[in-house]
A and B are shown apart, each in its own frame.
Chain A
Amino acid sequence: MSEPILEVTDLVKHFPVQVGVLFKRTVGHVRAVDGVSFSLARGETLGVVGESGCGKSTLAQVLMRLERATSGSVTFEGRDIFSLRGQELRRLRRDVQIVLQDPYTSLNPRMTVGDLVGEPYEIHADVAPRGERRRRVQELLELVGLNPEHINRYPHQFSGGQRQRIGIARALALRPKVIICDEPVSALDVSVQAQVMNLLGELQTRFDLSYVFIAHDLSVVRHLSTRVAVMYLGKIVEIGTDDQIYEHPTHPYTQALLSAVPLPDPEQRGRREVIRLTGDVPSPVDPPSGCRFRTRCWKAQDLCAQEEPPLVDRLGHPSACHFAEERPRIVPTSA
């Protein structure tokens, strides 16, 4: 196997919880990301799924070096991203880009599309000489399926799906190697979502891009990912290839998550196994001892409260459960 382009080891990001106005006191920590490891191969898409607040966006922010890690390491092409300086740091800022969820707030409303997509060239002037920028921007617009003549329009003159394309064009401007996509299609309607997903797929093949693709929609993730990581309360509980996670999940949380996704097929009503979790996700400030999922897990035993299950490979791919096992009929195989 070739060397991974991105390697994340024991990554931790805690946010202090502070009280008091004048004299701030730290009374605890939000353990947003709490020991996450994975690697991303060149040209691959790693899907990251999990419920709201499980740490997906925090992970994205740390991978972008927009937040400093509390501990652990992230290496890009073999180099620790937190120790990069000067020229090397500039290089990282070119090679790793992000596309965000909200096409309504992630673009500055006072900038034209041309300015927005071309802005990265202001900072990285060497990538495109000044005289060439307009043409470059128009090429990018065309690439993502926008009309190059609309270069002087403002974001509000575009629909949600088109704004997401602007965000993608901007991320592509510096010819990155990795794009972190944080819920890039979650705010879009089905018909438009499909357009943007296809676009991301085409661009990946064309430019040999590697994606970390964060989403809460498991169907979207299955469609685009080669491997998938399932997160719960700041930790990866199961990771594997697309088939391993969707067809042979062994962690109870993955199984419950998959079983809760409604299938767009009335014929499947009553034919699937239904696992219903009770209660909500506990607070990441004070996660349960041992296995973090135990307060909602139907298989929990005494051991689960005492000992944290490590993410180890016992049944073909890593799963963090003391009692990991396959379970049939979670996702029916389609005709």
Chain B
Amino acid sequence: MSTVYDGESGEFVPPQEIAAAQDESLLQVLGLQVEFRTRDGVAKVLNGVSYHVNAGETLAVLGESGSGKSVTAQAIMGILDTPPAFVTGGSVTFKGEELLTASAERRRMVRGEGIAMIFQDALSALNPVFTVGFQIAEQLRLRRGMGKAQARAAAIELLEQVRIPHAAGRFGDYPHQFSGGMRQRVMIAMALALDPEVLIADEPTTALDVTVQAQIMDLLAEIQRERAMGLVLITHDLGVVAEVADRIAVMYAGRIVESGGAREIYRRPGHPYTVALLESLPRLDLKGQQLNTIKGLPPSLTDIPPGCPFHPRCRLAQDICRRQVPEPVPLDAARSSACHFTGELMDRV
């Protein structure tokens, strides 16, 4: 049974919020709360985020920009800048071990070996003054105790695995000498160096062209299958999610508003925000006329509306939505939705 870290008292307490917590979860986030304390005020960026990923599974974290996808990932990795960011509650466990209270030393160990991360912008994630080969080999030497020649051979093998053509010849090239797609491959090779069990990919293809995006997504799927990794794919692209996700967690204003199996959610979304997102999407296979839009904008996180954060934009909003925050309710073993009217919504379709 996991407990939840309460930032106020600094103690572990039983979880207020039971997500579809599963014992075999490799990585589990429960009721995570993060705020940014800035001169303009306190932004409540994460307000109880819960999700989990199992070995060999792809969880897609879907949400529009600013919904808190990257901050959640950074909190998991322990790479948030404090200040301004403060974890004020919740729990992050990796194979049952609480990370939020683990020592800095222990967290460094888990980073890379347990959980690795890749980013949207490979150019700024790679060090421009070192060759890509050196950057991969150095990790292997420092963390795996390999000798120079051995580390070099292992790095070349990794570059081959991510299909860098003429990998041995490109070992000595600098990041800027690679194209966008190739750099993304290099970053994936670097993330795989210490053989992590979970890979968090934060918008890994957002900056790429569609043909290159397809190559990178194929590569990620293949690597995940081969290594039976848990993959957390962060994205705002409903198409990418539909093609690769086993499960989905939909984020809005620092909360998971709906989660469940990918097919089920696309077939019958259980939250008005998910419905609206799917309806606002122009489609390649449909010549549409008017798109259904969501009125208004996502809320400012320094000023989240009371009750359901989606209520100012929701077509189904009632009085209760303005007063009471809807808690996630299980729809079945694998699904949950945080809406007062999920039942009505799902009955309609």
Contacts and interface: CB of A to CB of B under 8 A. Distances in A.
Interface of A: 51-52, 159, 161, 189-195, 197-198, 201, 216-220, 222-223, 242-243, 246, 256-258, 260-269, 274, 276-281, 331-334
Nearest to B273: A191
Contacts of A161: 297
A52 B214 CA distance: 15
Contacts, number: 136
Contact of B239 (A194, A246, A261): A261
Contact of B280 (A190, A217, A222, A268): A190
B146 interface: no
Most chain B beta-carbon neighbours within 10 Å: one of A257, A262, A269, A280 = A262
Nearest to A242: B287
Contacts of A218: 210, 284
13 contacts: A189-B298, A191-B280, A194-B280, A223-B283, A242-B287, A246-B284, A261-B239, A263-B243, A264-B281, A265-B242, A266-B263, A268-B242, A333-B285
B283 A260 contact: no
A104 to B, nearest CB: 12
A77 to B, nearest CB: 29
B287 A189 contact: no
Nearest to B289: A201
Given A216-B210, A223-B291, A263 B286 contact: no
Given A198-B290, A262-B237, A264-B242, A219 B209 contact: no
A269 B243 contact: yes
Contacts of A333: 285
B214 A264 contact: no
A260 B181 CA distance: 15
Given A222-B282, A262-B242, A274-B214, 10 more contacts: A190-B238, A219-B239, A220-B282, A246-B287, A258-B284, A263-B283, A264-B242, A266-B242, A266-B262, A277-B211
Contact of A195 (B217, B282, B288, B293): B293
Contacts of B239: 219, 261-264
Nearest to A280: B179
Given A197-B282, A262-B243, A269-B243, A190 B64 contact: yes
Given A159-B297, A242-B287, A219 B282 contact: yes
B236 interface: yes
Contacts of B97: none
B292 interface: yes
B324 interface: no
A223 B287 contact: yes
B135 to A, nearest CB: 21
Contacts of A191: 64, 276-277, 280, 293-294, 298
